[in-house]
Structure 1
Amino acid sequence: MEVHLIAVGRARRGPEQALFEHYAGRLRHPFKLIEVEEKRPLTGTELQEREATLLLSAIPEGAVVIALDERGKHLDSPAFARALSDWRDQGIRSTTILIGGADGLTDAVRARANLVLCLGKMTWPHMLVRGLIAEQLYRAQQINAGHPYHRQ
């Protein structure tokens, strides 16, 4: 199954990008980062709506969508791995993970998601979240392969 990570904003060189590249490079399935960004000086609801449009328009047809949002479900790593393997076993060919901008996701984006996932109650830098998600995808890959990485 291919995985797309669609994120608001552009990555810059630094430790967060290195972490992301480290784990993304370890994934065996096709993985693609798609960055979307509004260049106009919009603010508040107007910016949030525009980012929603950019995120939704970048989702591949037929993809299962995971939206990262503070109001989402809390899953442990084995449950996340199971969800990915269940979708794969159902014949789903593409999973897309959405990372919104600083103002979060709109109701429309959350409604489009098959799973709204929370990484915890703390606020995380968006660039660090990319690395966290890449690591969890790698961890899920290893869990589903029966590899002991998860317990190390």
Structure 2
Amino acid sequence: MLLHIVARGKIGRSAEAELVERYLKRIQWDTKVTELPDEGGTIPDPKMTPARTVVLDEGGKVMSSVKFANTLGRWRDDGVRETQFLIGAADGHSDEIKRNADLLFSFGPATWPHMMCRAMLAEQLFRATAILSGHPYHREGARS
């Protein structure tokens, strides 16, 4: 399954860009990043392939890493070819985009800069694929 991050704004060369690249390189699944301008541009149509759309939104569902991984694994096992993860600009997403999402996903009630969300999402995608493959990266419940 292709994990496709569709993000508003240009990340450029930054610490966040380095984190995104670091985590995406570690993912064994296919990955892709599409950058759109803050306004306008065309979001790739998920109807062109069997796809799911995850919209990052502060009002979305908060999920544990394991539950998030299990959701992605279920979609993969159901034959989904692509999952798009939409990251909005400063003003978020339109009501239409949120209505059409398969999942509204949140990193919690705090407001996060959208460039940081991109890095956090890349890490969670790596963590989810690591969980699904049995890789020891995720140590739920481990204490130091």
TM over 0.5: yes
Check if 1:28 corresponds to 2:28: yes
TM-superposed deviation, 1:92? 0.7
1:2-57 deviations in Å (ceiling 9; x for gaps): 1110001111111111111100111111100000115xxxxxxxx5xx46xx33xx
**What is the aligned partner in structure 2 of residue 43 from structure 1?**
none
Check if 1:150 corresponds to 2:138: yes
TM-superposed deviation, 1:69? 0.4
Question: Percent identical across equivalent pairs?
Answer: 42
**What is the aligned partner in structure 1 of residue 107 from structure 2?**
119
SS state at 2:137 partner: helix
**What is the aligned partner in structure 1 of residue 6 from structure 2?**
6
Partner amino acid for 2:10? R
Taking structure 1 as the reference length, what is the TM-score of the superposition?
A: 0.86
Check if 1:103 corresponds to 2:125: no
Q: 1:80·1:140 contact (CA, 8 Å) conserved in 2?
A: yes
* Displaced runs of 4 or more, over 4 A: none
Separation (CA, whole Å) in 1 of partners of 2:133 and 2:25: 17
TM-superposed deviation, 1:135? 0.5
**What is the aligned partner in structure 2 of residue 41 from structure 1?**
none
TM-superposed deviation, 1:59? 3.4
Taking structure 2 as the reference length, what is the TM-score of the superposition?
A: 0.90
Separation (CA, whole Å) in 2 of partners of 1:14 and 1:68: 21
Gaps of 5+ in 2: none
CA RMSD of aligned residues (A): 1.4
Higher helix share goes to which structure? 1
Gaps of 5+ in 1: 39-46
Separation (CA, whole Å) in 2 of partners of 1:63 and 1:9: 23
Separation (CA, whole Å) in 2 of partners of 1:4 and 1:148: 24
SS state at 1:149 partner: coil
